[in-house]
């Protein structure tokens, strides 16, 4: 009988049920009964996020695509008329500018986006999706739709609505924490660069 080399078989071998139970007991011991639930939920959220990322990339690499490239193309599709600056794309995706530059260069080389001269700043370019880029998104749409359907196939309609509500609630909390972090960082930036303070 051939060995099962699937990711699921590998995961079950690396993390058997007994080990998972042992991990839960350690969480309860170190964080308490109440805190352990949050810690385990956080751990599972990070774990499943990585798994979903790997699954969603399946098949995309054959077309020299990735989820990061798809997200960037979709953002440009939403701003089809005016396009976007690379700095805005970086902020919206939550990635470093050099990462966005690499994605833009790759998509531009493939003819999926265009880099247009900025009307008032020669140092900047406006990035827009091309007809070829729209065609790629249209071609990948069935693959993504099937993947999402398979991902939530064991959810009832009620569970799906509950999950959507909870994930949106978590998203609001994360956005709030990011805003709080940005506000807290501003005084440090001002103190570090006193000459950058605006003149009143």
Please give the pLDDT value at position 104. Answer: 92
For 147-171, the pLDDT digits (tens) are 899 999 999 999 999 999 999 999 8
Q: What is the pLDDT of residue 192?
A: 43
pLDDT tens track for 92-119: 877 788 888 999 999 999 999 999 988 8
Q: Calculate what percentage of the chain has a pLDDT beyond 90.
A: 28
C-alpha to C-alpha distance for 181 and 106, rounded to whole angstroms: 32
Six-digit token string for 97: 């500018």
Condensed to tens digits (0 to 9), the pLDDT of residues 42-56 reads 878 888 988 888 888
How far, in Å, CA of 137 to CA of 70, rounded? 7
């Amino acid at each position: 009988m051939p060995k099962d080399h699937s990711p699921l078989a590998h995961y079950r071998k690396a993390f058997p049920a007994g080990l998972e139970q042992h991990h839960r007991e350690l969480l309860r011991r170190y964080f308490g009964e109440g805190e352990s639930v949050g810690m385990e939920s956080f751990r599972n959220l990070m774990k499943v996020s990585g798994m979903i990322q790997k699954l969603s990339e399946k098949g995309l690499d054959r077309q020299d695509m990735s989820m990061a490239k798809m997200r960037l193309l979709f953002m440009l599709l939403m701003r089809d008329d005016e396009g976007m600056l690379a700095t805005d794309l970086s902020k919206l995706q939550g990635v470093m500018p050099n990462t966005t530059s690499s994605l833009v260069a790759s998509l531009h080389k493939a003819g999926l986006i265009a880099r247009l001269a900025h009307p008032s700043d020669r140092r900047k370019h406006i990035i827009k999706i091309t007809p070829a880029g729209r065609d790629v998104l249209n071609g990948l749409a069935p693959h993504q739709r099937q993947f999402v359907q398979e991902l939530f196939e064991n959810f009832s309609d009620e569970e799906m609505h509950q999950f959507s509500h909870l994930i949106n609630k978590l998203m609001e909390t994360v956005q709030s924490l990011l805003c709080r972090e940005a506000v807290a960082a501003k005084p440090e930036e001002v103190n570090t660069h006193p000459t950058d303070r605006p003149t009143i």
